[in-house]
Amino acid sequence: MWWGCATCNVLVCGAYIHGRYRFISRNNHAKHAQIATHTPAPLFETSIPSKDRRRLQHRPPSVTEQPNMVKLLSTLLATAIALSAVTAADTAQDNAVKHVVKHKHKHPAITSRKQAAPTIPKKKHNVSSAHKTTKKAKAKAKSTTRTTTKTTHVTVKQTTHSSEKQTTATHKTTTTTAHRSSSTRTTTLYTGTPTVVLDYATVVPVSGNAAQGYYKFQNVRFAAPPTGTLRFADPAWPTHEATVNNGSAMADSTTCASQEDCLVCNVWAPAKAFELGAKYPVLVYWFGGGYVANGKGSVNPAGLYNITTDFVYVACNHRLGITGNAVGPSYQHQGGSTNMAVRDAEHAFKWVRKYISNFGGNSSYVTATGFSSGGSQVLFQLTRYAGHAEQLFDQAYVTSPGLTPGAGHHQAEVFWQNVSTAVNCTGGDLTCMRNVPFSTLTKASSSLVTQYGYQMQPRNDGDFLPEMYEAAMYQGQFIFSGPVVITHEQHESNGGQVPGISTESDVINYVHGLFPGISDDAMQQVLTLYPSSNYSTQGFRAADIYQGLHHTAHDLALTHALQNKTFNGYIQIPPAGHGTDQPYYYYNGGTGIDATVAHKMQHYLLSFVMTGDPNAMWKTDSRPFWPRYDTQTSGVQLVVNTNWGNETFKVLPGDDLDNAKTLFWNKALWY
């Protein structure tokens, strides 16, 4: 059939195929090289099969209804000489339609040539949270017989939970309820800036734009303020917020060490997610800091977004110090919650599952990542409740997980009583401790930690964390099915020696400080595994003990527990100390970092986030294939060392952690 375009005054030939206008321009007009983006006015129609004549009652407005009627009629006269070619063109077009229908299984977007009449696509318009749909628009929506959805051009390979088989899933737009979500996606373009409406709050970005490719939402609450009766209690869902959250209520640098009202997240979302309605993989980051310092702003993902914007980034705070790690018999007897820092992380993951679809995230494709204590946060989520719990994320990228076992219940009780006495809450009364000003409580706690060397970290509580995660993994008490990357540095103890250590007695006292509950027999095994003859000073001996206990033992426990599901990495980039790799993963320009090495490490990370395989994407950057660890042989790991010249990345057999020292810290010490 022939059509006159009311917008650009061009005569075009096309067909009305299953709800879409398909045009071929006689003048090879650029606007008609693809499906038209505007509604043409029909001049006349030819060669319409009788079975399709019923469509005429649903065709677009006639030419007499068009503002450019005179011009279109003139165009019609000018084309009279082309009538001899019309029949042939239309016949060919009709045959093409028949071919498509005959092979409709090859065209999933087309289901039947006899389907309902098409609906003219409506123009996009900006909608704010206060926008009211007119009665006319509502009536038109009700009459719509077919809803057209868009899809992105990005696909990701998703690893199923039941097997290693990978399937390809295309992110589609949706107006339905998100996975495990109580809210429907209501995100719309709002004069160029998205407004995200949750069931308890409305949030807008603090920075970013479509040109940058992403928006940053700052200080989004994932839990109610842990103040008053919620101090020393499990995290609770946030309450209704009357005002729009633009992220300015608190500084981005706010941590739970500086302010008690701190349980918030930063969310970075692709700009195209709000235009296309697509769902992208999610990366949830946990910061390091020994459970006493730092927060969600520890790293900046802007460098990753310079490579691709096809993912959503989330970073959250959790409680620190005594408000995040209090434990002890009398404390628990009064109803105090244990391991609040880990419970906060658990709650944040549940928030992501429930709400991240509102920010364009795929709640069914979440990667957890963390450095140091942030890495241990990820591992604790696998072993909470001895593995009898919901799996909160789908894959993990863990770097240098760190955790000192800390005090037993006796030491924890002594510490609780000492702090309560210091703030005039005799006997450790929980109600009194909840009413002490936050600054007073944290100051007293920090002073006692310094004085006695007490470790403010998660510990066994017999319920939420019945075991430290190494022991739980070796006993099969964990819940996880999915790929994992785990890496460590060559010198996690930063290659130095512990100051103030000069004799073996000093070493023994140092270990007792790290692990107050260690038995005499276990201490003797430590001294045997780390003989003085292997070290130039007792300070280096103590540092090596610390590295095994606090860092590297965790890697082997996870590797053995998950068998062939892990990709293992060994970072030797000078100085190869704790955290040397972090500026590479989050590189965003600057000096002192090899940009080529950084980009390859970022490609490993992003490829894993988007596909579950660090090798699947950016294959042209010459980085080597990173194989999975094989527990049936000697193991294999990716080793990164910038001193090797052009061969910075190598895949080498063996596992530097598979030795008697690591096995001791993982097994003998716990049983």
Integer-rounded Cα Rg, in Å, for the chain is: 31
d(CA 448, CA 454): 8
The domain limits of the chain are 2-106, 151-482, 487-671
Q: Interhelix angle for 373-383 vs 553-562, to 10°?
A: 30
pLDDT of residue 634: 58
CA-wise closest residue to 29 among 19, 38, 20:
38
CB 662 within 8 A of CB 460: no
Buried b (16+ CB within 10 A) or exposed e, 492-525: bbbbebbeebeeeebbbebbeebbbbbeeeeeeb
Count of positions (residues) in the chain: 671
CB 460 within 8 A of CB 384: no
Tell me 280's DSSP state: E
User: Please, which residues have CB within 8 angstroms of residue 535's CB and are 6 or more apart in sequence?
Assistant: 541, 544
Domain 151-482 CATH (choose: 2.60.40.1080, 3.60.15.10, 3.40.50.2300, 3.40.50.1820): 3.40.50.1820
User: Please, which residues have CB within 8 angstroms of residue 654's CB and are 6 or more apart in sequence?
Assistant: 634, 635, 636, 637
What residues are paired with 397 via a beta bridge? 369, 485
Neighbours of 421 (CB within 10 A): 14
CB 475 within 8 A of CB 560: no
CB 326 within 8 A of CB 334: no
The DSSP bridge pattern shows strands 636-640 and 566-571 to be parallel
Helix (H, G, I), strand (E, B) or coil at 193: strand
d(CA 579, CA 487): 11
Q: What is the 3-state secondary structure (H, E, C) of 443-478?
A: HHHHHHHHHHCCCCCCCCCCCCCCCCHHHHHHCCCC
pLDDT of residue 404: 62
Neighbours of 322 (CB within 10 A): 25
pLDDT of residue 630: 72
User: Please, which residues have CB within 8 angstroms of residue 646's CB and are 6 or more apart in sequence?
Assistant: none
d(CA 259, CA 438): 8
The low-confidence residues of the chain, meaning pLDDT below 70, are 1-191, 404-408, 451-453, 493-495, 550-560, 564, 631-634, 654-659, 666-671
Secondary element (H or E) of residue 542: helix 538-547
Neighbours of 298 (CB within 10 A): 19
- In the chain, what's the furthest Cα-to-Cα distance? 106
What residues are paired with 283 via a beta bridge? 313, 367
Residue written as tokens 């009305």?
A: 16
Buried b (16+ CB within 10 A) or exposed e, 181-190: beeebebbbb
Mark residue 192 as left, alpha or beta (left: phi above 0; alpha: psi -120 to 50; beta: remaining).
left
How distant, in Å, are the alpha carbons of 162, 381, 473, 504, 667 from that of 388? 18, 11, 13, 43, 21
CA-wise closest residue to 211 among 186, 188, 192, 190:
192
pLDDT tens, position by position, 318-363: 999 999 999 989 999 999 999 999 999 999 999 999 999 999 999 9
d(CA 528, CA 522): 10
Secondary element (H or E) of residue 157: strand 151-159
How distant, in Å, are the alpha carbons of 388, 467, 666 from that of 463? 11, 9, 21
pLDDT of residue 48: 36
Query: One fold for both 151-482 and 487-671?
Result: yes
pLDDT of residue 158: 33
CA-wise closest residue to 412 among 449, 380, 381:
449
Cα dihedral sign, 29-34-37-43: positive
Buried b (16+ CB within 10 A) or exposed e, 546-555: bbbbbbbbbb
Instruction: Annotate 96-135 with DSSP letters as a single string.
Output: HHHHHHHTGGG-TT---TTSPPP-PPPPP----TT----H
d(CA 654, CA 62): 76
Q: ∠ at Cα 123 (121, 125), nearest 5°?
A: 140
User: Please, which residues have CB within 8 angstroms of residue 258's CB and are 6 or more apart in sequence?
Assistant: none
Type of residue found at 594: D
d(CA 228, CA 433): 10
d(CA 355, CA 361): 9
Q: Which spans in 356-460 are helix H?
A: 373-383, 409-422, 430-435, 438-452
Q: What is the CATH number of domain 487-671?
A: 3.40.50.1820
The two tokens of residue 25 are 């321009």
**pTM, full prediction:** 0.70
CA-wise closest residue to 496 among 536, 555, 456:
536
CA-wise closest residue to 273 among 176, 362, 182, 404:
362
Neighbours of 243 (CB within 10 A): 8
The two tokens of residue 343 are 């419970």
